[in-house]
Structure 1
Amino acid sequence: MSWWRRQRTALLALAVATVAVIGAYVWLDVLPSVRSGDRVVEVDTDVDISGQTLSIGPAEWGEFESPAGTRTLSIRLRSSGGTDAALCGPATLTDPSSSRTWLSSRSGLDVPSGEGESSCVAESSPYRILLVFLLPDDAEGPFRLDLEGGDDVTARFTVEP
């Protein structure tokens, strides 16, 4: 019996696994970044997104404890709320010089819940949002803060801590 016949089950499983990994990569990483309907709006201070007006506030290094070799960057936003206010998508922070991107990691850190919301909420009265990013020590900025709105608009703030 030849080696190919003895190993055909393993080779078939390897081929199926390879196709599955490539499919998962395309589904989870490539397709979400190729949404043609999204419009990116460059913002200085205020933006109307998801039925509310968001205003960027101060950014602060090291406000919360972080593991060795990292530090936190806290970004505060104010929302006007409103009757049409809706949820926003995830907030991402990107270093344009290196193309590194981070998601808000507030849930993994010891951030008091009374500091503000972790994202946009469907709230009619004004409220505060606190985004906390865990960055390596070598990340300096300036950064791009992207907030996805429920209305296919992504607001892009420039953050210079």
Structure 2
Amino acid sequence: MTRSWWRRNAVALIALAVLVPGAAAAIGWREWAATYEVSSQYVHPVTPQGDADTVEFGGATWGPVTSGFFTEADGLPIPDGTRVVAVKVPVRNDDADAPVGCSSPVLVDQSTGTRWSEMSVALDLDYDPDAPTLCASDSSSYEMLVPFIVPDDVDGPFWIDVAPYSEGPGFVRFSIAP
């Protein structure tokens, strides 16, 4: 007597029943992590407390932060309908042998949550080792000078967020009103 198709393929059907949901879960997890992990990694802002204008975080002292608006009158090639918010972030590493590392700060509109990245290349600004746009790993004390291009009608106030690499989910946040 011949065995039925179901009996002949029982092992393959069981494997299929286990592998298909497993593969779907693995693919779904990978896509979820790629989409949400980076944006949700930094969720705990560390801000100046009380009257302080500096923050000690991640092995460095950050601030005091200064900022201002720049226009075409300042000699920068600014696109029509925009202006530049320039932010200066002083950084003093607590341990010169282990300086803090970070990517460029991000500018955030406090009212809308709109985020802007550093735009020195778009403004034809050359790299200046004395005013880097991200954490300098070879210096114990320096000032990051970071330009952001924003629409003309955006006045702030803003947050400037700096995320040291080794301190996720925490990041340094300063409130600025250029």
- Shorter-chain TM-score tier: 0.7 to 0.9
Which residue of structure 2 aligns with residue 67 of structure 1?
79
Unaligned 5+ segments in structure 1 are 1-19
Map 1:122-161 to 2 at 5 A: 122-150=137-165, 151-152=167-168, 153-161=170-178
Secondary structure of 2:64's aligned partner: strand
SS at match of 1:113: coil
Cα pair distance change 1:29/1:69, threshold 3 Å: farther
Letter in structure 1 aligned against 2:176: V
The answer for the alignment partner of 2:136 in structure 1 is 121
SS in 2 for 1:99: coil
> Higher strand share goes to which structure?
1
Aligned with residue 44 of structure 2, among 21, 35, 39: 39
Question: Aligned AA for 2:141?
Answer: P
The separation in 2 between residues aligned to 1:28 and 1:103, in whole angstroms, is 19
Amino acid at match of 2:156: G
> Which runs of 5 or more residues in structure 2 are unaligned?
1-26
144-153 or 120-129, larger mean C-alpha shift: 120-129
After superposing on structure 2, the runs of 4+ consecutive aligned residues of structure 1 that deviate more than 6 Å are none
Question: Partners in 1 of 2:60 and 2:152 — Cα distance?
Answer: 34
Q: What do residues 68-123 of structure 1 show as CA deviations (whole Å, max 9, x unaligned)?
A: 11110000111223332121134111112122111111122122433601111223
Question: Once the 2 structures are TM-superposed, how far is the Cα of residue 27 of structure 1 from its aligned partner?
Answer: 4.5
Q: Which has the greater radius of gyration?
A: 2
TM-score of the pair, normalised by structure 1: 0.73
Q: Percent identity?
A: 23
Residues 36-115 of structure 1: pairs in structure 2 closer than 5 A: 38-43=43-48, 45-62=53-70, 63=74, 64-81=76-93, 82-114=96-128
Aligned length: 138
Calculate the TM-score normalised by the size of structure 2.
0.67
Measure how far apart 1:50 and its partner are: 3.6
Tell me if structure 1 keeps the 8 A contact 2:120–2:126: no
| One-letter amino acid matched to 1:76 | K
